[in-house]
Chains A and B, each alone.
Chain A
């Protein structure tokens, strides 16, 4: 997995126009007492280091390992996911949808970029992009091709457009050859994209 650190851009000493504008607004909001700068730092740290797709991967691994949890997450995802400590903002109302041989699920928000933050973190650029939002509701197999994925024509592709405050998590298929793996090992195979339906789970032993 490629690690994308901020050093890439923070090496630049000159600040861009957006840096200056955002900084100016933050200064005004702080001076007026509308925002607490320390709260902003905590928000940033939270979404950079604590809330991300490894949370969702743990949910998926648990569902693969524990039939009772799988059943719970498929019938009351909000409660089942909250039991692992993932809840709140942009995950208040969760629905989990399971991939099978017969059906492959894909999630989109064509109207903005709704995404289940507590389990997946903030969305990747492609999820928010016009091509994804435009195409996946009509040509999901074409979109899957962009991700290097071809599924049998007999598999139904079910696209979920997140138009209200319900957020969708895809439970991808467990790959063969993973018998005996524990929760952490299984979770390591679960990619972010597989929990949106735009990717598959890594085969065990494949490089990340």
Chain B
């Protein structure tokens, strides 16, 4: 089965300008507020994890056409339908028709502040020593993978330097696929613009860093 992410935008050719926006209300319509809040509240139920949410959004066929909270809303619908928490018939009717399914938790109003303050830390205890040391040269995985991943396309098969060891973190690739946390060492890896872009480099003194889990990396 193929997996297509429409969200991997780094380096895509475009002449479209970036349009600055004044600091102010982060929402531009009332439905955006509600869509944001119900997505957070449903995320807090434990029916899925954040990596599954990202996978649901990035694989939306109309990703490019949706605005940001539109992506959140459509991604939420995918997650709800997949788990039969909400049915297509209910969405069409605009009301509940089926009995509720049990959820691990429900976010109560009284708990919102504490749940937000706790967040969802992804760092875990190390079970094995790190494979790479700061300053070591590594090469990123060149192949595409048929599932959610956090190695951007523009950084595949590139040589970079380990700049920082960030500890052991929940591995997004496994977590998104429902394979558990499978924590892995996470590193900040720095790249030169020539390495990333070759002839397309703008030669303007750019260096780029991203965070890569150990399975993305091989010694170079």
Contact = CB atoms under 8 A, between A and B. Distances in A.
Q: Do A and B bind each other?
A: yes
Given A137-B11, A158-B207, A2 B152 contact: no
A141 B203 CA distance: 10
B201 A87 contact: no
Interface in A55-106: 87-93
A110 B101 CA distance: 35
B96 A28 contact: yes
Contacts of B33: 44, 48
Contacts of A39: 37, 41, 107-109, 111-112
A148 B18 CA distance: 11
Q: How large, as a class, is the contact surface on chain B? A: 35 or more
Given A129-B18, A137-B208, A138-B197, A35 B107 contact: yes
B21 A126 contact: yes
Given A130-B64, A157-B206, A164-B169, A25 B95 contact: no
Given A39-B109, A140-B204, A124 B21 contact: yes
A26 B38 contact: yes
Contacts of B64: 130
Nearest to A146: B18
B91 A24 contact: yes
Contacts of A141: 202, 204
B174 to A, nearest CB: 13
Q: Which of B5, B19, B111, B210 has the most CB of A within 10 A?
A: B210
Interface in A170-208: 191-193, 198-199
A158 B14 contact: no
A159 B41 contact: no
B206 A159 contact: yes
A190 B119 CA distance: 26
Interface in B37-89: 37-38, 40-42, 45, 54, 57-58, 64, 68, 70, 73, 76-77, 85-86
A6 B166 CA distance: 40
Contacts of A160: 208-210
Contact of A1 (B22, B152, B186, B205): B22
Contact of B14 (A19, A26, A111, A134): A134
Contacts of B41: 29, 34-36, 39-40, 43
A27 to B, nearest CB: 6
B123 A93 contact: yes
Nearest to A159: B208
Contact of A22 (B22, B31, B100, B210): B31
Across chains A and B, which 7 residue pairs bring their CB atoms closest together, nearest first?
A: A110-B10, A4-B24, A122-B26, A38-B109, A164-B211, A32-B100, A24-B94
10 contacts: A3-B25, A21-B73, A22-B35, A28-B96, A35-B107, A39-B41, A93-B169, A130-B12, A138-B202, A159-B209
Given A4-B25, A46-B116, A146-B19, 7 more contacts: A29-B86, A33-B106, A36-B109, A89-B119, A158-B207, A158-B209, A159-B208
Interface of B: 5, 7-14, 16-31, 33-38, 40-42, 45, 54, 57-58, 64, 68, 70, 73, 76-77, 85-86, 90-91, 94-96, 100-101, 103, 106-109, 111-113, 115-123, 150-152, 154-155, 166, 169-170, 172, 186, 188, 193, 196-197, 200-202, 204-213
